[in-house]
């Protein structure tokens, strides 16, 4: 729109600004803003302008630059010039991208869609092996589950829970420390799961082991003992614990090593293992409820009272106690409970539906090798309620 | 248990007794058809505790009951030592030391058998064999018609080829090696062959004429077999445990000397050891113990007078009387009560005689502060919230097959650090589980007919080998959840993890919380498995299960799973 003054504006001399244009002087290549009042003259007219510089030639740098670009020598322009020309929209820089394309390994002429999820059909046909899957984004959070809430459980038993977090136990803690002789049938291959690996317990309590050995083989603490040759290798044999009484033994051992005796009540409910064939009433693994009370002056009456309290909580109130035999408790007993839900369904005759539970008893003093003095009457009710899924439902 | 036909009422005080009949028994075992014509007489099935050898036969049981009912006094068992040179001798040679070193013997003189008594005699031996003799490994009993043999007897050990005799109820002679083969398929005896089979020398008892009495613990000789007409019985017990051999001998002779011409008297025999020393058997020892009445009362929780306690004990075959100024009880323990090892055994008998159900039940006044194990407390709280999130709890077996924790999950068993069982009855119990996942997948497989989606969880222990523990292995408390549906539902399992972390107050960031990072897992679908990091360690994995895992567990739908160790959060 403006007039390139070097060519047409008569009001200028070569090399100088347009004198009659009120605008500030333009640099080389500038134009007079419209409307330049100066009349346009024919190109070839050489009108002498008073005061204008007469030059033989006009040096047009812009033209020069643009010509160079046209000739393909755009790189010869300086950054500044190029920027200026671009700004003046005289020069347009266009980026030409070119690609090398080759067939890749996954090339196909069919378009394959990426799977998002595994489906049942893919599993059934095995087609997942051939399909590509979209990768997951692990940095996103998952979908929040819809949750209900329950008030927190506030059962506070008067018993302290024993640690029972070892299914693998040594024969020492499972049998020997409980005065069960090494030739006892329960230590047989068909009643106990012995371990192939790890086969032996690396560590047994040294001093205590010696005492246990003595009581088994020679007697002690008022006991005649079993009078047989007690072998350390047999005590080291690892097994899957057959009762949680081994945990009680460990706990009582720790209690005995305390400076001062304090009465305790312990309980545990955990898994035990017996090497039996499975049938409708027998499992190889089941849960055992175990309770131990250690205090001075405890009696069989206390044991029975505690067991009755325990069963009452399960809704069982009719109990009978009968003598039984346990190598590690003396006196020992079994509890028989009458449970209305079990027993003879209509039509069959039979004995009343008493079911056997809870063997228990007072810990025999041969366990006193643990160092507990003569007064505390340790007794224990290993409540061997053999709970397994079938009966749990009935016991509710 | 024992089965008797009794015509009089038996008191249900001592041990568990239930009623049955021969007809019932056959009916249960073989069906009602076979039971037709069998006896209807009421039989009593009695559970005798494992340490009461004196109650293993009818004679002992009846005797015990009659003493308890104060109808008779406990008989006094007498050992009669024959004049010098007249008694029986059993000479042990040193060859027995390597195979079966101990032997004891006695004679039942002028005994009168009837069919029932004879059957009972044989039966008691079998019961003792199963019980205290530990299936003949510790002690084996042999009873012989003394009138068919002549002492002195020799207990020695010889090479199998050198032993030859006609075994009980056979028609010809066999060498010891042949006897092994002969009884290899015998349902009863084959279980005992291993006790001596691979020894260089087999034990054998001869009389002075080379007649074989027996080859313990396998079989007696036919020559000396006893019958209803036998009048003099030579009883020998051989074994590897001398204490038990003595107890066994005592039991046999005390029980059946009742039928001797001089009841309850036993003729002693002399055993000569390799070093020349001798010993008279049976021991028939009576032992005296003193127990304070207060101790008995205190331990049981009753308050009986000393004389009343003495009476209770006497009724239990422990003859007692009050001594001192009435502050002590002296108890005589007969040879039939080898189970009395300690004062507490005496206390137990007093309690039994008193009647457990007569003891007043009390609660101990022990004051203690209660505590739940933190790990279990955490487990309980998590369980509730997981159920609230719509997942169902499962409780699965801790034992499983090797494939379950290795091959089916695309791993090699050696990489699992699994604890291995030496004597599993079935392949289902080969190892202890190192992950909860197989259990849950098997649960789903057993519940395929249930409507989808199946959302299960379990918080329970797994077991791994750990050389840093005293037994060489330890448990870890794991939490595992699976989602089984037409689509894998990874976002649901992921969401569950987020929820659990929220409950544990662990924020979703790397510095002080938890984070998940893509990883590969052999049980997981490639590209859809992540490892979970928290508390500075890797705590588990989650992801979509690999289709191979799904098919190996006999499932058909996609499944995603999550398993972490929760112990770092306790």
- Neighboring chain B residues of A182 at a CB cutoff of 8 Å: none
pLDDT (0 to 100) of residue A369: 34
More confident residue, A11 or B224: B224
Are the beta carbons of B470 and A133 separated by less than 8 Å? no
Which domain, by its residues, includes A239?
160-395
CB B256 within 8 A of CB B59: yes
Closest residue, chain B, to A164 (C-alpha): B475
Mean pLDDT value across residues A254-263:
80
Q: Which member of B344, B363, B495 has the closest CB to residue A309? A: B363
pLDDT (0 to 100) of residue B396: 92
Q: How far is CA A374 from the centre of its chain?
A: 48
Partner residues linked to A326 by β-bridges: A329
Whether B437 shows a pLDDT value over 50: the answer reads yes
- Neighboring chain B residues of A145 at a CB cutoff of 8 Å: 389-390, 492, 495-496, 499
Mean pLDDT value across residues B46-71:
89
| Residue A110 covered by a domain | no
Are the beta carbons of A165 and B475 separated by less than 8 Å? yes
Q: How far apart are CA B344 and CA B329, in angstroms?
A: 14
The full 3-state SS of chain A, as one line of letters, equals: CCEECCCCCCCCCCCCCCCCCCCCCCCCCCEECCCCCCCCCCCCCCCCCCCCCCCCCCCCHHHHHHHHHHCCCHHHCCHHHHHHHHHCCCCCCCCCCCCCCCCCCCCCCCCCCCECCCCHHHHHHCHHHCCCECCCCCCCCCCCCCCCCCCCCCCCCCCEECCCCCCEEEHHHHCHHHCCCCCCHHHCCCCCCEEEECCECCCCCHHHHHHHHHHHHCCECCECCCCCCCCHHHHHEEEECCCCHHHHHHHHHHHHCCCCCCCEEEEEEEEEECCCCCECCECCEEEEEEEEEEEECCCHHHHHHHHHHHHHHCCCCCEEEEECCECCEEEEEEEEEECCCCCCCCCCCCCCCEEEEEEEEEECHHHHHHCCCCCEEEEEECCCCCECHHHHHHHC
Q: How many CB atoms lie within 10 A of CB A91?
A: 18
Under 8 Å CB-to-CB from A17, ≥6 apart: which residues?
A: A5, A25, A26
More confident residue, B237 or B36: B237
pLDDT (0 to 100) of residue B566: 95
pLDDT (0 to 100) of residue B30: 66
| Residue A45 covered by a domain | no
Backbone angle region of B354, left / alpha / beta, with phi > 0 → left and psi within -120 to 50 → alpha: alpha
Cα dist from A341 to A281, A319, A338, A355, whole Å: 16, 15, 9, 11
More confident residue, B143 or B17: B143
Matching residue, tokens 């010039």:
A81
Q: What is the pLDDT of residues B76-107, one digit of tens each?
A: 999 999 998 889 999 999 999 999 999 999 99
Q: What is the pLDDT of residues B4-21, one digit of tens each?
A: 433 333 344 444 455 556
| Residue A241 covered by a domain | yes
Are the beta carbons of B300 and A331 separated by less than 8 Å? yes
Element (H, E) at B518: strand B514-518
Cα dist from B263 to A328, B76, B80, B105, whole Å: 37, 10, 12, 19
Are the beta carbons of B50 and A185 separated by less than 8 Å? yes
pLDDT (0 to 100) of residue A362: 56
Q: Which member of A117, A276, A336 has the closest CB to residue B488? A: A117
Q: How far apart are CA B196 and CA B199, in angstroms?
A: 5
Are the beta carbons of B348 and A160 separated by less than 8 Å? no
Are the beta carbons of A308 and B361 separated by less than 8 Å? yes
| Residue A197 Cα, gap to closest chain B Cα (Å) | 5
Cα dist from A183 to A231, A236, B131, B139, whole Å: 11, 15, 11, 12
DSSP code per residue over B109-165? -SB---HHHHHHHHHHHHHHHHTTTTTTTSEEEEEEEGGG--S-EEEEEE-GGG-EE
Q: Which member of B380, B381, B465 has the closest CB to residue A198? A: B465
Q: How far apart are CA B137 and CA B133, in angstroms?
A: 6
Mean pLDDT value across residues B441-454:
93
The structure tokens listed for B126 are 């079998």
* Substitution target from A148, A301, A312, A366 for chain B, most B beta carbons within 10 A: A301
Matching residue, tokens 């190029």:
A82
DSSP letter (8 states) at residue B25: H
Mean pLDDT computed over every residue of chain B: 90
The structure tokens listed for B231 are 């009048």
∠ CA B144-B248-B69 to the nearest 5 degrees? 110
Closest residue, chain A, to B465 (C-alpha): A198
More confident residue, B274 or A340: B274
Q: How far apart are CA B317 and CA B313, in angstroms?
A: 7
Are the beta carbons of B421 and A158 separated by less than 8 Å? no
Are the beta carbons of A306 and B363 separated by less than 8 Å? yes
Q: Which member of A190, A334, A365 has the closest CB to residue B342? A: A365
Are the beta carbons of A240 and B421 separated by less than 8 Å? yes
Whether B288 shows a pLDDT value over 90: the answer reads yes
More confident residue, A18 or A232: A232
Q: What is the pLDDT of residues A340-389, one digit of tens each?
A: 544 323 222 223 334 444 455 555 444 433 333 222 233 333 322 222 22
* Substitution target from B400, B422, B527 for chain A, most A beta carbons within 10 A: B422
Q: What is the pLDDT of residues B411-436, one digit of tens each?
A: 999 889 999 999 888 888 899 999 99
CB A227 within 8 A of CB A214: no
Of B60, B212, B220, B211, nearest to B140 (Cα)?
A: B220
Handedness of CA A46, A51, A53, A56 (dihedral sign): positive
pLDDT (0 to 100) of residue A379: 33
pLDDT (0 to 100) of residue A17: 52
Number of domains chain A is built from? 1
pLDDT (0 to 100) of residue A31: 54
Q: With 0.95 as the threshold, say if the pTM is over it.
A: no
Range scoring the smallest mean pLDDT among A37-46, B367-376, B456-465: A37-46
pLDDT (0 to 100) of residue B34: 66
Q: How far apart are CA B155 and CA B89, in angstroms?
A: 10
Q: How far apart are CA A352 and CA A358, in angstroms?
A: 18
More confident residue, A77 or A177: A177
Of A157, A382, A159, nearest to A272 (Cα)?
A: A382
More confident residue, B288 or A206: B288
Q: What is the pLDDT of residues A188-200, one digit of tens each?
A: 766 889 999 999 9
Identify the three-state secondary structure at position B535. Answer: coil
Whether B170 shows a pLDDT value over 80: the answer reads yes
| Residue A187 covered by a domain | yes
Whether B349 shows a pLDDT value over 80: the answer reads yes
pLDDT (0 to 100) of residue A384: 26
Partner residues linked to B80 by β-bridges: B267
Mean pLDDT value across residues A153-180:
78
pLDDT (0 to 100) of residue B227: 95
| Residue A44 covered by a domain | no
| Residue A68 covered by a domain | no
| Residue A285 covered by a domain | yes
Whether B31 shows a pLDDT value over 60: the answer reads yes
Are the beta carbons of B298 and A297 separated by less than 8 Å? yes
pLDDT (0 to 100) of residue A307: 80
Mean pLDDT value across residues A94-105:
88
Identify the three-state secondary structure at position B420. Answer: strand
More confident residue, B282 or B324: B282
Whether B475 shows a pLDDT value over 90: the answer reads yes
Work out the pLDDT band at A98, boundaries 50, 70, 90. very high
| Residue A28 covered by a domain | no
Beta strands in B146-221 (DSSP E): 153-158, 164-165, 174-175, 202-206, 212-215, 219-220
Q: How many CB atoms lie within 10 A of CB A65?
A: 22
Whether A228 shows a pLDDT value over 50: the answer reads yes
pLDDT (0 to 100) of residue A393: 24
pLDDT (0 to 100) of residue A390: 25
Instruction: Please report the ipTM that was assigned to this predicted complex.
Output: 0.77
Closest residue, chain B, to A319 (C-alpha): B357
Q: How far apart are CA B305 and CA A16, in angstroms?
A: 144
Whether A147 shows a pLDDT value over 80: the answer reads no
- Neighboring chain B residues of A264 at a CB cutoff of 8 Å: 366, 368
Are the beta carbons of B472 and A226 separated by less than 8 Å? no
The HSE-up count of residue B31 (CA atoms within 13 Å, CB side) is 2
CB A21 within 8 A of CB A36: yes
Mean pLDDT value across residues A218-239:
84
pLDDT (0 to 100) of residue A97: 92
CATH number of the domain residue A356 falls in: 3.30.930.10
Whether A61 shows a pLDDT value over 50: the answer reads yes
More confident residue, A305 or B392: B392
């Amino acid at each position: 729109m403006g007039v390139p003054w070097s060519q047409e504006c008569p009001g200028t001399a070569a090399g100088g600004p347009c004198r009659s244009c009120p605008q500030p002087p333009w640099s080389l290549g500038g134009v007079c803003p419209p409307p330049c009042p100066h009349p346009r003259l024919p190109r070839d007219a050489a009108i002498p302008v008073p005061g204008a510089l007469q030059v033989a030639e006009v040096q047009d740098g812009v033209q020069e630059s643009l010509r160079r670009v046209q000739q393909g020598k755009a790189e010869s322009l300086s950054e500044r010039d190029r920027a200026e020309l671009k700004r003046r929209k005289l020069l347009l820089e266009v980026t030409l991208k070119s690609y090398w394309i080759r067939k890749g390994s996954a090339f196909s002429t069919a378009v394959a869609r990426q799977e998002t999820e595994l489906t049942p059909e893919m599993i059934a046909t095995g087609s997942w092996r051939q399909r590509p899957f979209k990768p997951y984004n692990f940095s996103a959070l998952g979908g929040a589950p819809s949750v209900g809430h329950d008030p927190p459980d506030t059962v506070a038993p008067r018993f302290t829970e024993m640690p029972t977090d070892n299914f693998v136990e040594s024969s020492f803690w499972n049998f020997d420390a409980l005065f069960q002789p090494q030739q006892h049938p329960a230590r047989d291959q068909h009643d106990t799961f012995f371990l192939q690996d790890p086969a032996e317990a690396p560590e047994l309590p040294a001093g205590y082991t010696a005492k246990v050995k003595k009581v088994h083989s020679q007697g002690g603490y008022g006991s005649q003992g079993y009078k047989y040759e007690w072998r350390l290798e047999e005590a080291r044999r690892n097994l899957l614990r057959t009762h949680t009484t081994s945990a009680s033994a460990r706990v009582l051992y720790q209690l005995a090593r305390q400076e001062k005796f304090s009465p305790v009540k312990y309980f545990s409910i955990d898994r035990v293992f017996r090497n039996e064939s499975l049938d409708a009433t027998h499992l190889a693994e089941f849960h055992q409820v175990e309770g131990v009370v250690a205090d001075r002056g405890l009696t069989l009456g206390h044991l029975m009272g505690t067991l009755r309290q325990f069963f009452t909580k399960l809704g069982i109130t009719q109990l009978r106690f009968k003598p039984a035999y346990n190598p590690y408790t003396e006196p020992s007993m079994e509890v028989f409970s009458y449970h209305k839900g079990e027993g003879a369904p209509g039509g069959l005759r039979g004995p009343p539906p008493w079911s056997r539970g809870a063997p228990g008893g007072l810990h025999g003093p041969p366990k006193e090798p643990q160092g507990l003095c003569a007064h505390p009457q340790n007794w224990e009710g290993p409540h061997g309620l053999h709970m397994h899924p079938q009966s749990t439902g009935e016991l509710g | 248990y024992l089965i008797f036909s009794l015509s009089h009422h038996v008191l249900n005080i001592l041990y568990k007794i239930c009623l049955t009949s021969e007809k019932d028994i056959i009916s249960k075992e073989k069906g009602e058809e076979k039971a037709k014509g069998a006896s209807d007489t009421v039989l009593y099935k009695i559970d005798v505790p494992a340490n009461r050898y004196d109650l293993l036969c009818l004679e002992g049981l009846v005797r015990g009951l009659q003493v308890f009912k104060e109808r008779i006094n406990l008989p006094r068992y007498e050992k009669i030592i024959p004049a010098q040179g007249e008694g029986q001798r059993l000479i042990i040679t040193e060859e027995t030391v390597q195979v079966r070193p101990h032997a004891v013997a006695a004679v039942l003189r002028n005994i009168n058998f009837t069919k029932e008594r004879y059957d009972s005699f044989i039966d008691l031996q079998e019961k003792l064999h199963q019980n205290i003799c530990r299936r003949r490994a510790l002690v084996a009993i042999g009873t012989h018609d003394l009138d068919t043999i002549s002492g002195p007897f020799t207990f020695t050990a010889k090479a199998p080829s050198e032993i030859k005799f006609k075994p009980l109820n056979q028609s010809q002679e066999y060498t010891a090696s042949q006897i092994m083969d002969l009884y290899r398929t015998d349902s009863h005896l084959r279980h005992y062959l291993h006790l001596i089979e691979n020894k260089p020398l087999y034990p054998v008892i001869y009389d002075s004429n080379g007649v074989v009495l027996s080859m313990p613990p396998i079989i007696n000789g036919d020559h000396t077999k006893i019958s209803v007409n036998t009048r003099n019985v030579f009883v020998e017990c051989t074994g590897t445990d001398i204490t038990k051999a003595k107890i066994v001998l005592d039991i046999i002779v005390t029980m059946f000397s009742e039928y001797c011409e001089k009841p309850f008297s036993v003729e002693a025999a002399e055993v000569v050891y390799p070093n020349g020393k001798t010993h008279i058997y049976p021991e028939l020892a009576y032992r005296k113990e003193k127990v304070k009445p207060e101790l008995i009362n205190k331990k049981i929780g009753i308050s009986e007078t000393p004389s009343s306690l003495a009476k209770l004990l006497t009724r239990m075959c422990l003859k007692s009387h009050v001594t001192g100024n009435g502050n002590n009880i002296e108890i005589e323990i007969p040879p039939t009560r080898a189970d009395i090892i300690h004062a507490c055994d005496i206390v137990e008998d007093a309690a039994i005689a008193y009647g457990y159900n007569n003891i007043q039940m009390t609660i101990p006044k022990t004051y203690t502060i209660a505590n739940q194990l933190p790990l279990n407390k955490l487990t309980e709280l998590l369980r509730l919230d997981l159920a609230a999130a719509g997942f169902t709890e499962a409780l699965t077996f801790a034992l499983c097959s090797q494939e379950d924790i290795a091959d089916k999950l695309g791993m090699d068993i050696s990489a699992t650090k699994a604890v291995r069982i030496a004597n599993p009855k079935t392949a289902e119990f080969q190892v202890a589980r190192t992950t909860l996942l197989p259990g849950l997948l098997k649960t789903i497989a057993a519940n395929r007919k249930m409507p989808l989606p199946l959302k299960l969880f379990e918080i329970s222990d797994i077991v791994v080998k750990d050389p840093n523990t005293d037994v060489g292995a330890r448990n870890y408390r794991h939490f595992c959840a699976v989602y089984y549906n037409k689509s894998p539902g990874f976002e649901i399992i992921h969401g569950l993890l987020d929820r659990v972390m929220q409950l544990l107050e662990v924020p979703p960031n790397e510095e002080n919380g938890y984070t998940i990072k893509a990883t590969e897992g052999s049980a997981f679908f490639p590209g859809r498995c992540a490892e979970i990091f928290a508390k500075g360690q890797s705590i588990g994995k989650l992801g979509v299960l690999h289709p191979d895992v799904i098919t190996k567990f006999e499932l058909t739908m996609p499944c995603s799973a999550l398993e972490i160790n929760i112990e770092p959060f306790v």
